[in-house]
Structures are given as C-alpha cells and as structure tokens.
Amino acid sequence: MVLVLIIVCVLSTILSSLSSEVTNTKHLPQAIIIGVKKCGTRALLKFLSVHPAIAASSTEIHFFDSPKHFPLGLDWYRNQMPIADTKQHVTIEKTPHYFVDKRTPKRLARLLPDVKLILILRDPIIRAISDYVQIKNRHESYPTFDNFVSMENFTKWTPIRIGCYAIYLRRWLKYFPLEQIHFVDGENLIHRPWEELESVQRFLNVSNHIREEDFYFNMEKRGFPCIRQPNGCLGSSKGRQHPTISGQTREKLKHLYSNCNLQLKQLAQIDFPWL
C-alpha cells in the first residue's frame, strides 16, 4: 500500500511538471510595438507589463530587422520571449526600428500574418528634438538643432526623415490591413496615459486592468507619467530637457511636415490633435 502511494505521488509530480512545461512556456508574440522611436514605446511597454494577462519582453529583440538575428529563425525568436501561459497571456515585444526598416513588413507578414501591430506617433517636430537630444547626449560637440535644420540637405538627417510617418506606413499597409494596426497618440500617452491604455487593452482583447488611478506624474521628470508599482517610472534617460528652437526652425519644420501629416491622416484614418 505504501509503495502504491509512493508511485502515485511520483506520477502526480511528473504529470504536474509536464503540465507546467506545456502551459508555462515561451511563445511567438501575438502583438508587437513596431515604433516609432522617441514616441513612447518604452513607456507603453512598461505600462502594459503590469497587466496580469500580458507577458512583455524586457529588451528590444531586433529579429526582423537584423541580418544577424533573422537567419537564426523562429525558434531563436521564440526563445527571446518571456515565459507566458497560453491561456492567460498575450506575449508582446517592441522594437521601434521595425517601423522604418524596409525588410520588416514583408518578413513579419510572411512569418506572423495575424500579429497585432501597435504604432505610437507624436508631433514629428517634438519627436525630432527628442531624437536629437538623445544623440547629443552621446556627442557633446554636436551642432545645435537649429544648425542642422539650416543645412541645405537637412531633410536627409535621420531625426527629421523619420517624422514623415506616411512614407513608412505606406510600406506596412502593403502587407497588413489597417484594422490590424492600432495607432497610439504619443502626446496623449504623456498627458493622459490611461486613455491610450484603455484603447490598447481593448485592441489586445484583454480586460481594462490599467486605469487612471494606476498613474501619477513625476514632476522631477518634466511631469512624465509613472505607473504605481516598484520602479514604476522610466529611467534617467527619460525626461531630458529639450533645447529651445528658433521660430524660423519651427516654421520650416511645420511646412515640411504639413503634407506628411495630411498623408498620414488619410492613410491611417486618424485625427490626433497635433496633426
């Protein structure tokens, strides 16, 4: 009788272990934040990571846009994901460079045709300044933002070029239907993050777990939003002071982006206040 009980206990332990391995494992993402750089991708992923039904990657994977990683295949890609229960979790990763990479839309559509795409957009002038600040932080002798925009070929400068979102979105719409892409207003994500989180949670088909009362604003970081949990604020690199740009520079960029923004409104069928 004792031997039978021991055998039953051992079998139960083995079955429990096997069950755990089946249900708690790594899966290819059901959703990907594809961009845009300096529009709040890290903030959105951090906020989503507190949802009990979402398993979020902790790093940018760079699978579809990397000549080093892509040849490693889907098994490698899956292994970079967090452990998630298939019945309870949506696995999500974010790599902002996907949005501007020419190869990614086709590759992603071929390998993960049903994946949900999240795209964060913000005022392209503010985005460009934020991009510039990040670059200048690594290069102290970098020219001023005004100096860059005064150059004859300034539209080829990466921080400026990325802001014409319609150019890149047009590529994505060749491979994905519009209803498979959710657009987040990056400006509203800073000021009223719960509104953007509500729509993202609805898009991901998870409960509205993250609400207004879960946020507070860190006035030491230019009023950036934080989520009420340990280490709920973004790192020290966020909230850097932006330089003041001249009125001439601002008008020049407004003129440049006016047509881009009009195309974006038509392609994405959105009407964010800054457009």
**Is the pLDDT assigned to residue 256 strictly greater than 90?**
yes
Q: Distance between CA 275 and CA 273 in Å, rounded?
A: 6
Does residue 161 register a pLDDT over 50? yes
Say whether 40 counts as a known binding-site residue: yes
**What DSSP line would sit under 124-135, residue for residue?**
HHHHHHHHHHHH
Q: For residue 42, give the H/E element and its range.
A: helix 41-48
> By the 8 A CB rule, do 67 and 223 touch?
no
> Cα 248 to the chain's mean position, in Å?
32
Q: How far, CA to CA in Å, does 207 sit from each of 1, 21, 192, 204, 246?
A: 49, 26, 19, 9, 45
Q: With 50 as the cut, is the pLDDT of residue 2 above it?
A: no
Helix, coil or strand: residue 54: strand
59 labelled ligand-binding: no
pLDDT digits (tens, 9 = 90+) for 23-82: 589 999 999 999 999 999 999 999 999 999 999 999 999 999 999 999 999 999 999 999
The two three-digit tokens of residue 36, written as one number: 């845009």
**In a 10 Å sphere around its CB, with 0-12 CB exposed, 13-18 middle and 19+ buried, how is residue 205 labelled?**
exposed
pTM for the complete prediction? Answer: 0.90
- Distance (Å, rounded) from C-alpha 227 to C-alpha 211? 10
Banded pLDDT at 7 (limits 50, 70, 90)? very low
| Nearest one of 158, 129, 155 to 144, comparing CA atoms | 129
Contact 134, 73 (CB under 8 A): no
Instruction: For residue range 183-196, list pLDDT tens digits in order.
Output: 999 999 999 999 99
Of 84-93, 113-122, 225-234, which one has max mean pLDDT? 113-122
239 annotated to bind ligand:
yes
**What pLDDT does 129 receive?**
97
Q: Is 42 annotated as a binding residue?
A: yes
> What pLDDT is stored for residue 6 in this prediction?
42
**Residue-level pLDDT at 87:** 61
Residue position matching structure tokens 């940018």: 60
Q: Across residues 199-217, what is the average pLDDT? A: 97
Predicted pLDDT at 5: 40
Answer yes or no: is pLDDT of 13 > 90: no
Among 62-76, 110-124, 224-238, the range scoring the smallest mean pLDDT is 224-238
**Residue 9 predicted with pLDDT over 90:** no
| Among 24-38, 73-87, 116-130, 163-177, the least confident range | 73-87
For all residues of the chain together, what is the average pLDDT? 90
> Of the residues 38, 46, 94, 116, which is catalytic?
38
- Is 237 annotated as ligand-binding? no
Query: In the chain, what are the domains?
Result: 24-268 (3.40.50.300)
Relative to beta strand 31-35, strand 90-94 is parallel
Averaged over 126-138, what is the pLDDT?
93
CA distance 64 to 73: 10
Long-range CB contacts for residues 42-45, cutoff 8 Å, separation at least 24: 42/94, 42/234, 42/238, 43/189, 43/190, 43/193, 43/224, 43/225, 43/234, 43/238, 44/94, 44/118, 44/120, 44/184, 44/189, 44/196, 44/197, 44/200, 45/92, 45/94
Q: Is 37 an annotated catalytic residue?
A: no
Q: What is the pLDDT of residues 97-116, one digit of tens each?
A: 999 999 999 999 999 999 99
Asked if pLDDT for residue 243 goes beyond 70, the answer is: yes
